[in-house]
Chain A
Amino acid sequence: GAVVSQHPSRVICKSGTSVKIECRSLDFQATTMFWYRQFPKQSLMLMATSNEGSKATYEQGVEKDKFLINHASLTLSTLTVTSAHPEDSSFYICSAYRDTGSDEQYFGPGTRLTVT
């Protein structure tokens, strides 16, 4: 089956520092990946759509200069939270779209970010 990994699974950082989260599709190529944010006991909020070789498309209200997305290859997308603040603490989940004619997305296990 299709597997998507995320690294790290948990990260704690100090306010003002930057954190990079990696999302990899392990056994398939993904031209499109998605980044979601999930607050406690809430649903997933789509932050941006990451397209290989082009700029990400951000959802309304998401600061593109704060949440930098790079989709450098068909198997890797990265999300960098710049100058993190405590309010950025959240669960970040990526998903990858496998272009096989099925419209299924495969989700990573998520990254718990805590900013102190």
Chain B
Amino acid sequence: GDSVTQMEGPVTLSEEAFLTINCTYTATGYPSLFWYVQYPGEGLQLLLKATKADDKGSNKGFEATYRKETTSFHLEKGSVQVSDSAVYFCALSDPFIGGNQFYFGTGTSLTVIP
């Protein structure tokens, strides 16, 4: 079945450091891929998405490229800020499966220290 494997955390970085959070997936069809962010005590917010191979999603300095050949969707940011501290979830939606169901990774907690 479909699944998402995400880099385990927690990750602690200094401000302005480079961030990479790895995400790989398995899917029956051609899924759409997402990164969601969850700030403490809040629900999930869509950070970025890509719907087909080689698409790059970007938002707030974060980027992720849909790599079909490596079944990956790694999240990157060139210079993190303290306000980026949150939990990040990689997810996929597979239209082949139907039902609009999302599959989430386990989440990666990021702490950015000044």
Beyond A41-B109, A103-B93, whether A32 also contacts B100 by CB under 8 A is yes
Q: Is the CB–CB distance between A42 and B42 below 8 Å?
A: no
The answer to whether A107 touches B36, judged by C-beta atoms less than 8 angstroms apart, is yes
CB-defined contacts of B99 to chain A, threshold 8 Å = 32, 49, 57
| In the bound complex, CA of A49 to CA of B102 (Å) | 11
How big is chain A's contact interface, by range?
20 to 34
Give chain B residues whose Cβ lies under 8 Å from the Cβ of A32.
99-100
- Summarize A's interface: helix, strand, loop or mixed: strand
Pick from B42, B45, B102, B107: contact of A34, CB under 8 Å? B102
Which of A44, A57, A104, A108 contacts B104 (CB under 8 A)?
Answer: A44
Cβ-defined contact, A104 with B43, below 8 A: no
Residues of B bordering A, CB below 8 Å: 32, 34, 36, 41-46, 49, 51, 89, 93, 95, 99-102, 104-107, 109
Given A42-B106, A112-B41, 6 more A-B residue pairs with CB atoms under 8 Å apart are A32-B100, A49-B100, A95-B44, A95-B102, A97-B100, A110-B43
Which A residues are within 8 Å of any B CB, using their own CB?
A: 6, 32, 34, 41-44, 46, 49, 57, 93, 95, 97, 103-110, 112
30 contacts between A and B (CB under 8 A): A6-B43, A32-B99, A32-B100, A34-B100, A34-B101, A34-B102, A41-B107, A41-B109, A42-B106, A42-B107, A43-B89, A43-B106, A43-B107, A44-B89, A44-B104, A49-B99, A49-B101, A95-B44, A97-B100, A103-B95, A104-B34, A105-B93, A105-B100, A106-B46, A107-B43, A107-B45, A109-B42, A110-B41, A110-B43, A112-B41
